[in-house]
Structure 1
Amino acid sequence: MGSGMARGSARAPRAPEVTLRAAGEADYAFALALYLESTRRLLTALGRWDEPRVLARFAQGWRTDQVQVICADDMDIGWIQVSQTGDRLHLDQLHLVEGYRGRGIGTQLIEELLDRARADGRAVGLNVIRGNGALALYRRLGFTVVGEDPEKLRMLWSPAKRQAG
């Protein structure tokens, strides 16, 4: 008899129960640190890391009223920012601390966003830095590439298209 776990079948721990809370200005430093951690490696690989530019872009995009802090296990584990432009929602940011990535949390949060968009008949857009492992998740959830530049891909999810799939 074996140990019950076949070689190569190790799985990431199950997703913990997560809650969201409205962000406050006190969350800026946490969000910035996580943003820098998430983007530095990707942008460096593309030869596009420019810390002053990245810091300015973060400061320009941060909107406390659009941000929710992701909490689990009695601590802050990430943040999500969603904005609305006309009839479209935009997933501006989604970042999780290292130990909580790959556990289905991002999938759960994006699926909830897509359910809300579907109910309202809205499309959802996002930008993803080239080389980001989340690209496969976005494609699996029905996002398609609608534009690109040297740094990122612009993706769009359409409720009609997803329902037809």
Structure 2
Amino acid sequence: MNTQVPEQIVAAQKVGGEVLYGFFNTAFEVYEKLVALNLQAAKASILENEAVVAEAAALSTKDPQSFFELQSRQSQATTKKAQAYWQHLNEIATETRSQLLASSEKLASEYVRETRVIIDNLAKNPQAGNEAITAFWSKGFGAMWDAANALHGQARAAAKEAVNVMDRAGKPVARA
């Protein structure tokens, strides 16, 4: 019996587990960034609104024209702050997308490499009496390998196109 195959399967599973925890860590980091961004935005909003309310109360009784000018300035400032918030959110999403894409590519390449090593070892060291089955598996996995490579290329191209579409869709919002 070939003892390398179980060890290689365990190694492949270990890589999969490490990548899965890498995804979890990335997701948690994104969550932390979003919470920090929202807390920062809420705190800034509270402090600014407090100052505006105090200024508005002073102006409303003395000079109504200045009060309306203050409202207009606040409206413009709020629009700029909202744009900055969404731009920062877009940056977090873009960074996360690239991290997850890189992790996915690493996982796929490691999985393919480990699977190929297992198949090659099975083909090189068939168990006695199972040569025909091993040859069948080897040819079947070879065909699956070719199909998987073609599918991986198509999926990668589709993912890149999706990223480009998302980037093009997000840019007018950030610049508006």
Interval of TM-score (by shorter of Structure 1 and Structure 2): under 0.3
Flag the structure with more relative contact order, 1 or 2, with Cα contacts below 8 A and sequence separation at least 6: 2
Greater per-residue strand proportion: 1
* TM-score, length of structure 2 as denominator length: 0.18
Larger Rg: 2
* TM-score, length of structure 1 as denominator length: 0.19
